Structure 1
C-alpha cells in the first residue's frame, strides 16, 4: 500500500527549492555528500516533523507540536541529505541541510512502511528527551500532517541509531512502545549507603 504523504505547505517547499538552487547554500552545507554531489538535487518525500515534548509527564496524553517540514534531498537514485523548513513569524523559511545516519534510516523506514498493508500517513516524531527520531505512521490519512496527536494504534518506527533498549527499524504500536519510552526516562532509584 503506498503511503499517503501530506502535501508540504507551498512556501516551505519553495524555501527548500530556493536553498537547493543556491550554489552558496549547497557549497556551505555541513553535509559532504551534498557538497560533492554532481548533478541535479531535488526535494522528495516531504514529512512534517513533530516534537514530543515532556514525554515523561505522568498520566498525560501525548502532546506534540509541529517543528517544521523535512524533505529527503535526492541526488540521482538515493537521498544524499535532508533539507528542513521552519515556520517563523514571517512565514516558512529554509532552516538547514542535514546529513548523517538519519538520512539513510529515514529512507529505509519509508521503504519498510511501503510494504505494510494499511493506508498510513508518514510523519517524523522527535523525542528530544531520548535523542530519538521515529517515523510516525499516522492512521488518519486525511489529516493535513501539521496537526493531530499520536494515537494508540499508530505505528512508530524508531530510526537508527535508536536509544539503548529500543529496536531500530521495528514498527511498533504507540501503545506498546510508550511504556518502554517512559521507563527509560524514569529517575533511577537512589542508592543508600550501607549502615
Structure 2
C-alpha cells in the first residue's frame, strides 16, 4: 500500500503532466492565436505546484506580474478567469481515469468568481482548488486565491465542467506520465483496462 507521501507525489506528477502536455500542444498552435495563447501560456508557465492530493486537490503559488494588471494597478478580473480556469481544471488530474476527465478536464460550463479584495500587482498568491463533485459527465471544483500567509482571501471560484473526449491529436502528444497512467489503469501498450 502506498504511503501518504507516495500518493502526494503521484498526484503532483499527474498535475505536472497536464502542464507538460499543454506546453507541447501550445507550441503547435497557429501563429494567429498569439494574443490569447500568450496570456494562457503565461499562467501555465508561472503557476508553481505547491501540493496535490489524489482526492482532487491542488495548490499553486503565482506571482502577479504586471501583465495581469488593470489600469488601477491591481489584478484584472479577466486575468482571474484564466488563472482560475487553469488552477481548478488541474484538480481533476489526480482523479482522472481512461475516458474519465483526462487531459484538460473537459470544457467549462460556468466559472463563477466572487471578487472580495483587490489583488496587488507584485504579490505572490496561493491558489487552492478542490474537486467537490465529479461524475461521468459533470464536475464542480471550488477554489480560492489567497495571500501566502492565508490571512486574506482575494477571490473565490466555483467552476462547473462538462466532460469531453480528448482530441485525437492531443492523444498523440505523449509525456512521461502517460506510461504510469497506463500501468495504473492497465490500458495502452496492449494492456487490458482495469475499469
The reply to whether TM is greater than 0.5 is no
| TM-score normalised over the length of structure 2 | 0.31
* Bigger share in strand: 1
Compare CA radii of gyration and give the structure with the larger one. 1
Higher helix share: 2
Give the structure-1-normalised TM-score. 0.31
